[in-house]
């Protein structure tokens, strides 16, 4: 059987969170260097994605999109070659409406020519937005059209539908052919935004799976309030909040698309984004979803549990509350029976070591907005 494209959630870096409209060829080449040289590519981050604002305002005489002459004086081909030369894949952005969200030309009624152009340029991933859509059109039909146009090129191009979770997208998006779909509104660099997006996802826990993943939007880990993009920037988050952000996205099988300026990432950010245990959970080949266990005796805390291939479970304990709390999990709620002599072992995904074996239940103290994640073997 041929390889399934985007069987696991795609991982990469995208220009929007940090740069908005303000990027150029130099920044993109530098980001490719950091991804390849500082462990990100080895950790699994393979797509380097240009978001909105990469094009000229007008198409050429053949109706094709033209890369911004100011940002890419020699066109996109040498930049894409450079990115590919680093062992990375290249992603680009368009929109199903008549303009992109930032007002650049978009793909409505140009789906075939744009897909063919992207394929010819060597594009491996398309993020496809939902702005300026004619009211007569459903996004379902327009996503079908672009998915078909991309497939017709004969090239493997990941199709990342960016539809913000409207129109009950999770119920129909897989049938369009899209590989990922945004399941909520745009992220901002603050805790309320992270928490809000996670809570929307909790209402749709059963959605997503191999080859079509629920996209909770790009990561803000490491941004620390430094974005140049007014639509994303905020006060930033604490380390505990960024840690919880990454753990949630990993557990909930979201694509992991970094948004910070990797050239400036500090040690904490780098270690977090390259956490092998959390990435392995995110990329687990069975791509199962989580179930959620709320804990009435510790309000604000909850567990997410995700079956992994090979028989173990990922267990995340989270504290969304405003003060330190005990976050417990009863093994009975996972189906583990101590009467049958089962004593699960816990591997700590942040400490990268054994946390011990336990009977009946497990509990950890968590500060406000903090979390712990374990690989649990029900032995
Ligand atoms: C939004 C999208 C963002 C970003 C922006 C660009 O609709 O959700 O992720 O792509 O458009 O204008």
Q: Which atom of ligand 1 is nearest to the CA of 20?
A: 6
Residue 1 has pLDDT above 80, yes or no: no
Q: What pLDDT score does 2 carry?
A: 67
Q: What pLDDT score does 340 carry?
A: 84
Q: What is the largest CA-CA distance in the chain?
A: 75
The DSSP letter of residue 215 is: E
Please tell me the pTM assigned to this model: 0.97
Would you say the CB of residue 181 lies under 6 angstroms from ligand 1?
A: no
As a whole number, mean pLDDT of residues 331-337 equals 92
Å from CA of 229 to ligand 1 middle: 11
Q: Which atom of ligand 1 is nearest to the CA of 185?
A: 8
Would you say the CB of residue 21 lies under 6 angstroms from ligand 1?
A: no
Q: Please report which confidence band the pLDDT of residue 230 belongs to, taking 50, 70 and 90 as the band edges.
A: confident
**Top-confidence residue, 252 or 337:** 252
Evaluate the CA torsion angle 227, 273, 191, 95 in order and state its sign.
positive
Å from CA of 185 to ligand 1 middle: 9
Tokens of 217: 């939007």
Å from CA of 130 to ligand 1 middle: 9
Contact 68, 56 (CB under 8 A): yes
Collapsing DSSP states into helix, strand and coil, what is residue 6? coil
Å from CA of 156 to ligand 1 middle: 23
E strands, 15-129, in order = 47-49, 89-95, 125-129
Q: Which atom of ligand 1 is nearest to the CA of 51?
A: 10
Would you say the CB of residue 160 lies under 6 angstroms from ligand 1?
A: no
165: left (phi over 0), alpha (psi -120 to 50) or beta: left
Q: Which atom of ligand 1 is nearest to the CA of 131?
A: 7
Tokens of 195: 């928490």
Would you say the CB of residue 186 lies under 6 angstroms from ligand 1?
A: yes
* % of the chain surpassing 90 pLDDT: 94
Q: Residue for token digits 């979390």?
A: 371
Mean pLDDT of the chain: 96
Would you say the CB of residue 129 lies under 6 angstroms from ligand 1?
A: yes
Q: What count of Cα atoms within 13 Å lies in the side-chain half-sphere of residue 52?
A: 22
- Dump pLDDT digits (tens) for 152-161: 999 999 999 9
Q: Which is nearest to 111 in space by CA: 90, 126, 122, 89?
A: 126
As a whole number, mean pLDDT of residues 288-292 equals 96
For 236, 344, 373, the CA distances from 355, given in Å and listed in that order, are 31, 11, 11
Q: What pLDDT score does 229 carry?
A: 87
- Dump pLDDT digits (tens) for 60-104: 999 999 999 999 999 999 999 999 999 999 999 999 999 999 999
Would you say the CB of residue 162 lies under 6 angstroms from ligand 1?
A: yes
Residue 357 has pLDDT above 70, yes or no: yes
Q: What pLDDT score does 153 carry?
A: 98
**Top-confidence residue, 296 or 344:** 344
Q: Could you give the residue numbers annotated as active site?
A: 129, 186
Contact 370, 338 (CB under 8 A): no
């Amino acid at each position: 059987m041929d390889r399934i494209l985007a069987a696991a959630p795609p991982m990469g870096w995208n220009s929007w969170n940090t740069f908005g409209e303000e990027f150029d060829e130099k920044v993109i080449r530098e980001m490719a260097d950091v991804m390849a040289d500082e462990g990100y590519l080895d950790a699994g981050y393979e797509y380097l994605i240009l978001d909105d604002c990469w094009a000229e305002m007008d198409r050429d005489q053949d109706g094709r999109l033209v890369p911004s002459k100011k940002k890419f004086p020699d066109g996109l081909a040498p930049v894409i070659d450079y990115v590919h030369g680093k062992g990375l894949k290249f992603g680009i952005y368009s929109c199903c409406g008549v303009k992109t969200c930032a007002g650049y030309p978009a793909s409505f009624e140009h789906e075939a020519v744009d897909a063919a152009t992207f394929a010819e340029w060597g594009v491996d991933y398309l993020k496809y937005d939902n702005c300026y859509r004619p009211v007569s059109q459903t996004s379902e039909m327009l996503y079908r059209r672009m998915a078909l146009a991309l497939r017709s090129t004969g090239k493997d191009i990941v199709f990342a539908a960016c539809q913000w979770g409207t129109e009950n997208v999770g119920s129909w998006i897989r049938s369009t052919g899209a590989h990922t779909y945004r399941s909520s509104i745009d992220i901002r660099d603050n805790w309320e935004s992270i928490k809000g997006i996670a809570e929307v996802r909790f209402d749709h826990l059963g959605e997503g799976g191999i080859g079509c993943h629920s996209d909770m939007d790009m990561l803000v880990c490491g941004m620390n309030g430094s974005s140049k993009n007014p639509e994303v920037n905020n006060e930033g988050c604490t380390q505990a909040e960024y840690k919880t952000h990454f753990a949630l996205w990993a557990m909930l099988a979201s694509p992991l698309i970094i948004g910070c300026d990797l050239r400036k990432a500090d040690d904490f950010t780098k270690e977090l984004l390259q956490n092998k245990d959390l990435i392995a959970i995110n990329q687990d080949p069975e791509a199962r979803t989580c179930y959620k266990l709320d804990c009435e005796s510790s309000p604000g805390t909850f567990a997410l549990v995700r079956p992994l291939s090979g028989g173990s479970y990922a267990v995340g304990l989270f504290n969304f509350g405003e003060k330190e709390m005990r976050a417990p999990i009863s093994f009975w709620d996972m189906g583990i029976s101590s009467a049958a002599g089962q004593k699960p072992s816990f591997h700590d995904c942040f400490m990268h070591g054994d946390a011990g074996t336990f009977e009946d239940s497990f509990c950890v103290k968590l500060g406000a907005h903090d979390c712990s994640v374990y690989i649990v073997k029900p032995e």
